[in-house]
Structure 1
Amino acid sequence: MKRKKTRQIHIGRIKIGGDAPVSVQSMTNTKTEDTKSTVEQIKRLLDADCDIVRVAVPNMEAAVNISNIKEKIEVPLVADIHFDYRLALTAIEHGIDALRINPGNIGDEDRVKKVVYAAKKKNIPIRIGVNAGSLNKRILSKYGKVTPEALVESAMEHVHILEKLDFHDIKISLKAHDVPLTIDAYRLMSDTVDYPLHLGITEAGTVNTGIIKSAVGIGALLAEGIGDTFRISLTGDPVNEVKTANEILKALGLREYGPTLVSCPTCGRCNINLAEIAGKVENKLTTIKKPITVAVMGCVVNGPGEAKDADVGIAGGKGEGLLFRKGRVIKKVPEDNLLEALFTEIDRIK
């Protein structure tokens, strides 16, 4: 799919925008002052193929500790800062790779200049992050409620502050928990500027509901070519955010990410416990990194044909099933041995 062209920035070694691939971000939920816990969580995020990690910087102890964290990881780190410009300056001093901060919220022009000049000196980009729940009263009064236009206008006020200081190393996010609102806001933003866009459905919820909302909202935008980087916002373990993000990219053909399981929804022709078998295969695939496609089909009538692109698969029958590769039947297998035969073939591929 064709991506909308944006200018390119760098967060550490990761390119954002331009012709760079869409990158996956997450955020730790540890205390940033706690080096051990934060580093352990970041390493788990990296194991799940996270590209960029953000940490909360609510106080000076957290800002200072960034250097200790940076010594132990090899992933670009973003400091999430609100209101206090001194935290931004300290985070820059201690090696942060990017800032998430709204220039209009950190005080007078002199304070903004200090942050911008420090960031510019070290080639540190700034993400302008506008949330539907924190629009200022003037903009809310103007539009009467949170609208796509209100979100974009708020973001552009912050953008203009930076542009007046000749700072253009910017990316923008416009987040809301309302999916249609978020989609419309990003569409409008994409038509307004060429800065890279950071996608997200904020406060999406728990794993069950949050994945659905995020997949619909972020997936729709990515399918339109909008978005250069994104975070899935889920309550709980942030590793789930990364896994979900990569699955969305995989579904859209934007990233190779581990194995893909193809399984039919079952019907009256199915004579095996397909749900149980598919669950066991899914567990098996969690141990594999290679991007192979494995099919678990319910019947032999058209299973191999429907899953002909799968690297390997099985199709159930009555008392026996078929083992196939790339749509070609290898052999008939007794039903009790189907899983064993499939796992043997998977092990040969990996």
Structure 2
Amino acid sequence: MSVRPYRDIQRRKSRQIRVGSVLVGGDAPISVQTMTNTLTSDIAATVAQVKAAEAAGADIVRVSCPDEDSTAALKEIVKQVTVPIVADIHFHYKRGIEAAEAGAACLRINPGNIGSAERVREVVKAAKDHGCSMRIGVNAGSLERELLERYGEPCPEAMVESALTHAKILEDHDFREFKISVKASDPFLAVAAYQGLADACDYPLHLGITEAGGLRTGTVKSSIGLGSLLWAGIGDTIRVSLSADPVEEVKVGFDILKSLNLRHRGVNLISCPSCARQNFDVIKTVEALEKRIAHITTPMSVSIIGCVVNGPGEARETDIGFTGGGNDTHMVYLAGQQHHRLKNQDIVEHMAELIEKKAAEIEAAKAAEKAKTSAAAAE
């Protein structure tokens, strides 16, 4: 029995596939993806963007391959990065074959829009020959005409039918190394489609609210849609689609997972909105601290609270806590306990140093445990 059952999420049981070195589905951690917005044929710019996304924590990065120049560049891009690369393919089956040959870890493709059965067979063969998985990507904005005529508009049932039809094409070619997405810009439509698909198959699901908008509005919309699905245990890999730097997509993706206790990366910062009771400038302090500790990837929790109303209680539940007090004398908590007072000092730098020290301790403990396990296994 869980100590706090109200926090438990029972993930949907899905089969597992591999995207390069990353496992997707089954009991694998939910992976975070993003997509480059550079011209893929511009190798230097694309590699730089992939590496920036990887540094932010991206597990998988997708690049668009609309032409032969892009798939030719893909071969060089893959050599220069370590994160698995997904090739985004539309309509032209030869691009899929070229991308598989160039080292793509996965092809994002719709089998039904690349031509005859023979062409699909050639793409599947290329994927099999090069250890390449696939993603069937259904989008409400590009559903098949026949489905739109039959259903009258994009709807969950039409999207699920499209996904299963495409899946059947791959299954008929004895290929099952694929995941599926049913994205829409309308969170209601996307969530309902994913719920229907989750009930209809056991393939791993790639979640996304497509074309969600700019950084703020897109984050809100994605958090509502993806959050509700993940909370229900649906989803094996996610991409937050923002009209913003791909690095921001990765950050939001991890924040969504962190909020649901599904995956942790970096500091989970708990802070109050501030009010007349605050004994220091909470907003400016938190803003500066977030920038100062952006390099920390070790999971931990930190609370920054402006006064003693909720400060001590929040501090009890976090690794490091800070509560504002009168006369510029504040309290610092370590492991939930009062540790020392801070008076007339730089709060941001003091807290950052404590966080860095705690991160080093956590990483050292991990390394020691890993060494102990390795030594035991060698005996």
Answer yes or no: same fold by TM over 0.5: yes
SS of the counterpart of 1:307?
helix
User: What's the counterpart of residue 342 of structure 1?
Assistant: 351
- Is 1:333 paired with 2:346? no
SS of the counterpart of 1:71?
helix
SS of the counterpart of 1:10?
strand
C-alpha deviation, 1:339, in angstroms:
4.3
User: What's the counterpart of residue 146 of structure 2?
Assistant: 138
User: What's the counterpart of residue 180 of structure 1?
Assistant: 188
User: What's the counterpart of residue 152 of structure 1?
Assistant: 160
CA distance in 2, matches of 1:34, 1:347: 37
Asked if the contact 1:300/1:321 (under 8 Å) is kept, the reply is: no
Asked if the contact 2:303/2:314 (under 8 Å) is kept, the reply is: no
Instruction: Name the amino acid aligned to 2:358.
Output: I
CA distance in 2, matches of 1:108, 1:343: 59
C-alpha deviation, 1:337, in angstroms:
5.2
User: What's the counterpart of residue 204 of structure 2?
Assistant: 196
Asked if the contact 1:152/1:189 (under 8 Å) is kept, the reply is: yes
Identify the structure with the greater helix proportion.
2
SS of the counterpart of 2:330?
strand
Asked if the contact 1:316/1:335 (under 8 Å) is kept, the reply is: no
Which residue, out of 117, 123, 131, partners 2:125?
Answer: 117
Query: If the length of structure 2 is used for normalisation, what is the TM-score?
Result: 0.88
Which residue, out of 313, 316, 323, partners 2:332?
Answer: 323
SS of the counterpart of 2:209?
coil
Instruction: Name the amino acid aligned to 1:2.
Output: Q
C-alpha deviation, 1:303, in angstroms:
1.3
- Is 1:254 paired with 2:242? no
CA distance in 1, matches of 2:116, 2:257: 41
Instruction: Name the amino acid aligned to 1:177.
Output: S
Instruction: Name the amino acid aligned to 2:108.
Output: R
Structure 1 unpaired stretches of 5+? none
C-alpha deviation, 1:143, in angstroms:
1.2
CA distance in 2, matches of 1:282, 1:123: 40
- Residue by residue over 1:280-335, the C-alpha shift from the partner in whole angstroms, topping out at 9 and shown as x without a partner, is 22222213222222211121244122321222222112212212223322233325
- Residue by residue over 1:143-173, the C-alpha shift from the partner in whole angstroms, topping out at 9 and shown as x without a partner, is 1111100101111111111112222112100
- Residue by residue over 1:114-162, the C-alpha shift from the partner in whole angstroms, topping out at 9 and shown as x without a partner, is 1112212333222110110111221112111111001011111111111
Identity between Structure 1 and Structure 2 (%): 47
User: What's the counterpart of residue 83 of structure 1?
Assistant: 91
User: What's the counterpart of residue 278 of structure 1?
Assistant: 286
Instruction: Name the amino acid aligned to 1:331.
Output: H
SS of the counterpart of 2:326?
coil
Asked if the contact 1:174/1:186 (under 8 Å) is kept, the reply is: yes
Larger displacement relative to structure 2 (307-316 or 178-187): 307-316
User: What's the counterpart of residue 271 of structure 2?
Assistant: 263
Instruction: Name the amino acid aligned to 2:17.
Output: I
Asked if the contact 2:207/2:235 (under 8 Å) is kept, the reply is: yes
User: What's the counterpart of residue 295 of structure 1?
Assistant: 303
Larger displacement relative to structure 2 (131-140 or 275-284): 275-284
- Is 1:66 paired with 2:74? yes
Instruction: Name the amino acid aligned to 1:349.
Output: K
Instruction: Name the amino acid aligned to 1:332.
Output: R
CA distance 1:56–1:305, change in 2 (3 Å): same
CA distance 1:239–1:338, change in 2 (3 Å): closer
Which residue, out of 33, 39, 46, partners 2:47?
Answer: 39
After superposition, the CA RMSD in angstroms is 1.6
CA distance in 1, matches of 2:160, 2:306: 49
- Residue by residue over 1:244-275, the C-alpha shift from the partner in whole angstroms, topping out at 9 and shown as x without a partner, is 11111111112120012111233443343222
SS of the counterpart of 1:235?
coil
CA distance in 1, matches of 2:125, 2:353: 59
Larger displacement relative to structure 2 (244-253 or 274-283): 274-283
- Is 1:17 paired with 2:49? no
Instruction: Name the amino acid aligned to 1:324.
Output: Y
CA distance 1:340–1:70, change in 2 (3 Å): closer
CA distance 1:233–1:302, change in 2 (3 Å): closer
CA distance 1:347–1:105, change in 2 (3 Å): closer
Kindly tell me the number of residue pairs found equivalent between the two proteins. Answer: 350
C-alpha deviation, 1:338, in angstroms:
4.3
CA distance 1:334–1:218, change in 2 (3 Å): same
C-alpha deviation, 1:344, in angstroms:
4.2
Asked if the contact 1:300/1:322 (under 8 Å) is kept, the reply is: no
Structure 2 unpaired stretches of 5+? 1-8, 360-379
CA distance in 1, matches of 2:347, 2:62: 45
- Residue by residue over 1:35-59, the C-alpha shift from the partner in whole angstroms, topping out at 9 and shown as x without a partner, is 1111111111110111111110010
Asked if the contact 1:269/1:298 (under 8 Å) is kept, the reply is: yes
Asked if the contact 2:103/2:130 (under 8 Å) is kept, the reply is: no
Larger displacement relative to structure 2 (113-122 or 150-159): 113-122
Asked if the contact 2:314/2:321 (under 8 Å) is kept, the reply is: no
User: What's the counterpart of residue 223 of structure 2?
Assistant: 215
